[in-house]
Amino acid sequence: MQILNIAAYKFVALDGLPALQVALLDRLQPSSIKGTVLLAGEGINLFLAADSNSIHDFLAWLRTDVRFTALEVKESWSAAQPFTKLLVKLKPEIIRMDHPAIRPSAGRAPLVNAATLKHWLDCGQDGEGRPVVMLETRNRYEVEVGSFRSAIDWRIDRFSEFPQAVIDHRGELEGKTIVSFCTGGIRCEKAAIYLQEAGVVNVYQLDGGILKYFEECGQAHFDGECFVFDQRRAVDAALRPSVNAGAAPGA
């Protein structure tokens, strides 16, 4: 396990995107790092892998930009490089929802950390006695690899379908504490804001997504593995590559 895999995102207002793209390519291309960096006016999203020295040197460089100083990174290890190439792309959104009014950099829904969520799930209710419902924001093929037990899954094929699914199924959420979740936090952050703006009350986002939950709480209340968008295909609750690894869609 000599390859360090990192996943990170930050919603922060970015300008000068073409220049930032060039700077990132100039810094990354001479290194052994492979993976994908997405840039948009709303922020940055990255999945990268290499030896630990290369990754940590890159992160130290990136965090010299004040916009990324507070970038939080989730780490896991693999025996082989899970990416075949390096891409730095400009996008309209770092995660497509097609709702430009949703701006996480201007404010986000309340967070629930992994330990608190596990306690709620152990008890079957939150601290105020409301039933807790886990709400999938991922695509159906990701859910089929693994998910929280009894989570609501609206079987969406892409995240841009989530807003309509809320409209169609909002009645399922009434009277409950809703915890939106995803792989690393980026989709469930937008989803939680949309839920609030749609009038759903008692909404939380799982801080750091499934990967952070695995890191702190392991397998508790989760069946299967967590799908990832690289050649590992999935990671288990110890953040080890899936024994059923195969090329992931879009890897």
Give me the phi and psi of 111, to 5 degrees please.
-100, 150
Query: 112 forms bridges with which residues in the sheet?
Result: 206
Question: What's the CA dihedral at 153, 220, 114, 185 to 10 degrees?
Answer: -40
Look up residue 110 and give its amino acid: P
Give the Cα separation of 28 and 36 in Å (integer). Answer: 11
Measured in whole angstroms, how far is the alpha carbon of residue 40 from the centre of its chain? 16
Annotated active-site residue in 123, 182, 188, 226: 182
User: Which CA distances in Å does 150 have to 135, 146, 157, 223?
Assistant: 9, 11, 19, 10
Neighbours of 124 (CB within 10 A): 9
Say whether 123 is catalytic: no
Give the Cα separation of 7 and 100 in Å (integer). Answer: 24
**Catalytic site residues?**
182
